[in-house]
Structure 1
């Protein structure tokens, strides 16, 4: 099937991520990329219907093993739909261990799910290529599509594998829940005030190793450039961009930025944003959970009042209706916020170059 325009959709994935990209290669042949599958319910609610009619996924990326990214992929590989879809290649970072135990239901980081996924891949798609990804891979070119890898580093991947092995020893303990997001809410300050507060993440990279191990990259399609940050850490992406030669004077220019970790406070810094030039920012969340609410008002503030913004209007897009997100987390933005800063926020799921 031929294609001449990239179209990508940020699927409604509850508190998770699932991104379906329909682009085209150097021969103008359609090239399909699926990044994450959201929560288990995401497959039933949105992913399944978006995959109907697709006979081939050229690349499937599991950015990391959080259940709000992997759950929908497990449901996909267990569904009969998988038998109708060819998958050329998987990008997935996980040790090839023989774990057969079960994990506590409270665990947000599911080693069991990840092992289950690898078993399903080997059983359902034994001829598909499985590839580990790190910053050391630099630029990967697939049929003219260019992937510049920003995260994880080799060192982070190795620490993630160490944490994986330690997790196995905790599987029968009562509480495995990992604090991966801040639930701090402060709606009293203006966005301009919040933008001036120094970035101070609530957890270290090592204590947030699963998010830190996220596969994040720049995707250069023939007609559009995307920065896809998964749940990556700002410190890691910042350092990667600097190593690639980007700075505040010559930032990375992309058409769209998928903001890290659903707009959480811990994952987007002023310094990182200063290394990026874009007018369009995407946030994937339904508002989060009772204990982990997002997006953070501080993250919105940092985007709107980034230091090296040009005069163009800036757009923030959410994949759920803003009113629905507000119903869960409160007035994370209000009408007064929109009076300054030359910006807009709206609900939108599907994007093309023509939307810029």
Structure 2
């Protein structure tokens, strides 16, 4: 059995993925420091693999106390993270200036933990039943990211979401044009690690904060299209369901009825998930033969809507068979 725990990480990401038959554990991102102290430590004291998808605080910050606890209070087998020392780049790529990433990198060296980068096209064997097909970032995008590393700020630009104003109908939102940023202006997320987790005959897509064009470029290169969709059992949505992290092409190229979100609704001006993201999926995506489309949340939906406004109305749920489900643990046979 495959067990997935969507760990409460406030507006961040952290997932514990376990092969219960092979007794292998993968920790995907660590949220904030309190995510590790209050949640991860309560679930496990060791993992075979740790993947840190990218350098945003809400994914990487909790890894610092975790690695500080290594090896006496927490043990880690191998770390995958895209930092300059994990990947050889040109000498002129520049200095590193994000202090959390520097702290993490120095800790990995100090603790003598093995770590390496991940690139699109690579495969990682986690257990007898689990393998990861890396789909992001590309070699070119990672090199560009590392070259611009000294310009990266510790928090990303807030998404243009506000709970004020008129509620726009789902039908209108579903037909909106793409709102994602250019790759050059969003290079931190362009460098985010994303992968297809293959468990027996199941396919699960974990997107981190990946840029939608990187994902669709990879899938198209593999021969998938609106006429030949890639079928997934679950998709963990990119960037907590942000409208800047989805595209109409992505919606057209995948088939899936189950979507996982990691968010408490966000904070300040950076609120998520976007009602528009839910609308595009609910009205346009192929549901792989299922009647309902399911959105799984690791925080109470009422708490999320209190922060960022209406997600889906009761009438819309009934009309389009949309289910908002509070569920943070998944057992996959």
- TM-score w.r.t. length of structure 1: 0.84
- 1:210 equivalenced with 2:194 (yes/no): no
1:23 counterpart (13, 19, 22): 19
- 1:345 equivalenced with 2:329 (yes/no): no
- In 1, the alpha carbon distance for the partners of 2:19 and 2:160 equals 35
- In 2, the alpha carbon distance for the partners of 1:330 and 1:133 equals 37
- 1:158 equivalenced with 2:151 (yes/no): no
Query: 1:45, CA displacement in angstroms?
Result: 2.5
Query: 1:322, CA displacement in angstroms?
Result: 0.3
CA 328–180 in structure 1, closer or farther in 2 if over 3 Å, else same: closer
- 1:190 equivalenced with 2:190 (yes/no): no
- In 2, the alpha carbon distance for the partners of 1:237 and 1:187 equals 32
- Residue 203 of structure 2 aligns with which residue? 225
- TM-score w.r.t. length of structure 2: 0.90
- In 2, the alpha carbon distance for the partners of 1:178 and 1:110 equals 15
2:77 counterpart (81, 88, 91): 88
Contact 1:23 1:30 in 2 (8 A): yes
CA 307–259 in structure 1, closer or farther in 2 if over 3 Å, else same: closer
Query: 1:275, CA displacement in angstroms?
Result: 1.6
- In 2, the alpha carbon distance for the partners of 1:62 and 1:15 equals 16
Q: Aligned-pair RMSD on alpha carbons?
A: 2.2
CA 32–311 in structure 1, closer or farther in 2 if over 3 Å, else same: closer
Query: 1:95, CA displacement in angstroms?
Result: 0.9
Contact 1:37 1:69 in 2 (8 A): yes
Which runs of structure 1 show a deviation greater than 4 angstroms over 4 or more consecutive aligned residues?
184-187
- Residue 89 of structure 2 aligns with which residue? none
The residue correspondences of 1:54-203 to structure 2 (distance < 5 A) are: 55=46, 57-79=47-69, 82-96=71-85, 111-124=98-111, 126=112, 128-137=113-122, 139-144=123-128, 145-167=130-152, 178-185=156-163, 188-201=167-180, 203=181
Structure 1, unaligned runs of 5 or more: 98-108, 171-175
- In 1, the alpha carbon distance for the partners of 2:295 and 2:99 equals 35
- Residue 302 of structure 2 aligns with which residue? 323
Query: 1:333, CA displacement in angstroms?
Result: 2.1
1:306 counterpart (284, 291, 296): 284
- In 2, the alpha carbon distance for the partners of 1:82 and 1:324 equals 37
Q: How many equivalent pairs are there? A: 321
- In 2, the alpha carbon distance for the partners of 1:262 and 1:276 equals 18
CA 181–110 in structure 1, closer or farther in 2 if over 3 Å, else same: farther
- In 1, the alpha carbon distance for the partners of 2:4 and 2:254 equals 20
CA 246–283 in structure 1, closer or farther in 2 if over 3 Å, else same: same
